[in-house]
Amino acid sequence: MRDPLLKIPCGSVTGHGDICTGGDLCSTCLYILELEKQLRDDFSPEGLIEKVLIQLGKRIKYLISEGQKGGRHFANPHETLGKLAEEYQELLEAIHKNNSSETVAELYDIAIISVWGIISANKEKIEHDRIPGVS
């Protein structure tokens, strides 16, 4: 079953200038569908990591489009720390309630904040394709 956060077709403009529909999918939707097909039965550590990264990407896109998380750079590392501390407290509450689905959601939120923290801290480097720690 497809994650409801991922809309395929997404409705964006394809490489041919058409709208991404069921008949003419954009390259991103085609890529995600192919990757999902390849990973469906892959339970190796690498396959599981890839699945989580795909899910994280979907959640980031959805939450930004809904105006819930991110969408802008953090002003400084202190703001990043504040956001992480807030999400960490929510994670502790979810764990305390022994709620696994809420725990996973909070872990994704921490990952999303971490991604925005990396983007914010390295804005100029990322814009020039020089991401620190990535070769």
Note whether 113 and 83 are within 8 A (CB).
Answer: yes
Domain boundary among 68, 86, 113: 68
Q: Are residues 55 and 76 in the same domain?
A: no
String of DSSP letters for 93-116 = HHHHTT-HHHHHHHHHHHHHHHHH
Contacts of 39 (CB under 8 A, 6+ apart): 47, 50, 51, 54
Mean pLDDT for 89-101 is: 94
Answer yes or no: are the C-beta atoms of 64 and 75 closer than 8 Å.
no
Are the C-beta atoms of residues 10 and 28 closer than 8 Å to each other?
yes
Check whether residue 82 and residue 29 sit in a common domain.
no
Q: Are 40 and 33 in contact (CB under 8 A)?
A: no
Q: Indicate if 56 and 26 belong to the same structural domain.
A: yes
Q: What share of the chain in percent tops pLDDT 90?
A: 19
Domain shared by 1 and 56, yes or no: yes
User: Is residue 82 located within the same domain as residue 125?
Assistant: yes
Domain co-membership, 62 together with 94: no
Are 53 and 91 members of one domain?
A: no
- Same domain, yes or no: 57 and 83: no
Confidence at residue 2, expressed as pLDDT on a 0 to 100 scale: 45
Whole-angstrom Cα distance, residue 29 to residue 19?
12
| 100-134 burial code (b ≥16 CB/10 A, e <16) | eeebeebbbbbbbbeebbebbeeeeeeeeeeeeee
* CA 52 – CA 57 distance, rounded (Å): 9
Higher model confidence: residue 50 or residue 82? 82
The last residue of one of the domains, among 16, 35, 68, is 68
Number of domains the chain is built from? 2
Q: Specify whether 57 is located in the same domain as 89.
A: no
Q: Are residues 9 and 33 in the same domain?
A: yes
- What is the domain range of residue 29? 1-68
| pLDDT tens for each residue of 15-27 | 556 677 666 677 7
